[in-house]
Amino acid sequence: MKNASKLAILFALTASQYSFAQDHHKAMSFSAPERKTQQIPQVRDTVQTSVESESSKAPELRSGSMVDIQKEALLNDHKIIYIDGKPENAGGQQHQDSIRDLVENFFYDQFQSFSDPAAPYFLFMSRDADLAMGIGGCVRIRGWYDFDGAIPANSFTPYLIPMVKDPANNSKLGATPAGSTLFFRVIGKNKTFGNYQLYIEANFNGYGGSDFHLKKAYAQLNHVTVGYASSTFSDPAALPPTVDANGPANKISPTSVLVRWMNTYKNRWTVAGSVELPKNAAVSTVTGKIGTASQTLPDLAAFVQYAWGKSEHVRLAGLARSIPYQDLITHERHHKLGWGMQLSTVVHPVSPVTLYGTFNCGEGHESTTGDLQVGNYDLVPSPGDPMDMYAPFSLGWCVGAQYNFRPNLFASISYSDSRYFPRSPREASEYRFGNIFTANVFWNLTPRIQAGLEFDTGVRKNWDGKSRRADRLGLMAQFSC
């Protein structure tokens, strides 16, 4: 009862922000406005930059789900500041459509996740709407209470569930501002070079959940992206919404320094390929025999995607990588091949319902996945021969469903699983699989104020048959600007 009272107080405090926000933001509109034919070339964030001949023939993507309607409300909630003077036709439909096209670039891209910050409220724009600049971010506060098997981390990660019950630490109350974000984006069109964009994002996810660190920094010119960006192997949009920062147990969301080529054909088919510089592989070392080695070859990633709606698609992605290690006795350097694949989708079968799904598997790609990235599973010693290393197989999957009672009020459930299949486990207490069941509800009090309540329950099971469950109740308040 005490815990319920605390939650009620927290929700009441969050809801009280509603009246304050009305003085600073427009009222939310839940009907998608009718749009005329676009009069300027579109600029897409790392995506749909098709030649004009293709764009003119491209069919419109399906829209009208409650998720898209909620995005429409946010798209309409902004303030335009003209850099070089307000044009005479600023109130005209053609100019408004041009502005809208640029604003959409802050939302619709191939690597937009539920937790990414919204488009900024203040947008600086040129008279001809060929250049837009936005500075935005969000303040995000997460609080949680672990009441059965406290996890020693801010995120709910089954791998970290303590296998031995500790009465002194079986329950835990925590909170963090980690995930609060600032970003800067410039989107424009140059007569000589074409469409371009610059993007920098940093958040407070560093040491202790409060140090400021770089999350993304990239430049995009037409079909080419160069910089520190989401891996081509990932599909953040296909992950169900969660309050917890960790997300599904099989989540793939690495960020790498990369060079990517990507193009969308007739608004439907998107093809991408990239050369990526990953972090060092997670190798299970053997004292005095096997050690880590520096990465000398990049990862190769690619995907092909078919979309039939603004936020609906199915995608098949692949990853190939070289994993180095060192023989400490002969001082020789060796490499093993790693690979991964992911099939993912997000679909709105009817207006209030959204379905999410991901399935991934591979050998030597464990450091890119949610639960398994905590351990050193990219390379492990072969059974009976610790001098020979191999890339073990693993797989994971997630299914989720979201129901919108209103465009700004929805609930979702999801179940995710991550499994590790070595040829022979090194220890009986080694991780075998982990899973998470999540149920939550989100409420957008205004287009820029969001609250969420979530229940997570997860299980870790080892190769010796022992398992342990943990439960968490989480609460989030987020303010975007």
Centre a 10 Å sphere on the Cβ of residue 237 and count the other Cβ atoms it contains: 21
Question: Which helix or strand (DSSP H or E) is residue 137 part of?
Answer: strand 131-148
Q: Give the 3-state secondary structure of residue 393.
A: strand
pLDDT tens-digit series, residues 110-167:
788 888 887 788 888 888 778 888 888 899 999 999 988 889 888 999 999 999 888 8
Structure tokens at 353: 């319902």
pLDDT tops 50 at residue 3 = no
* pLDDT above 90 as % of the chain: 49
In whole angstroms, what is the distance from residue 197 CA to residue 186 CA? 5
pLDDT at 106: 65
Pick from 23, 52, 210, 43: nearest CA to 130: 43
In whole angstroms, what is the distance from residue 461 CA to residue 469 CA? 9
Read off the pTM.
Answer: 0.84
In whole angstroms, what is the distance from residue 343 CA to residue 255 CA? 19
pLDDT tops 90 at residue 23 = no
In whole angstroms, what is the distance from residue 469 CA to residue 398 CA? 19
Give the DSSP per-residue string, 326-379. EETTTTEEEEEEEEEEEEEEEE-SSTTEEEEEEEEEEES-GGGBTTGGGS--SB
pLDDT tens-digit series, residues 376-406:
999 999 988 878 899 999 999 999 999 999 9
**Which three-class secondary structure string do you get for 238-253?**
HCCCCCCCCCCCCCEC
**Which three-class secondary structure string do you get for 415-453?**
EEEEEEECCCCCCCCCEEEEEEEEEEEEEEEECCEEEEE
CB 327 within 8 A of CB 289: yes
Pick from 473, 441, 442: nearest CA to 455: 473
pLDDT tops 90 at residue 240 = yes
pLDDT at 1: 43
Question: Which helix or strand (DSSP H or E) is residue 272 part of?
Answer: strand 269-277
pLDDT at 43: 35
pLDDT tops 70 at residue 56 = no
pLDDT tens-digit series, residues 444-478:
998 889 999 999 999 999 999 999 999 999 999 99
Name residues whose C-beta falls within 8 Å of residue 6's C-beta, 6 or more positions apart in sequence.
Answer: none
Instruction: Over range 348-369, report the average pLDDT.
Output: 95
pLDDT tens-digit series, residues 68-99:
888 777 777 778 888 877 777 766 777 677 67
Arithmetic mean of pLDDT over the chain: 83
Question: Which helix or strand (DSSP H or E) is residue 2 part of?
Answer: helix 2-15
pLDDT tops 80 at residue 370 = yes
Structure tokens at 399: 């299914």
**Residue bearing the bigger pLDDT, 5 or 359:** 359
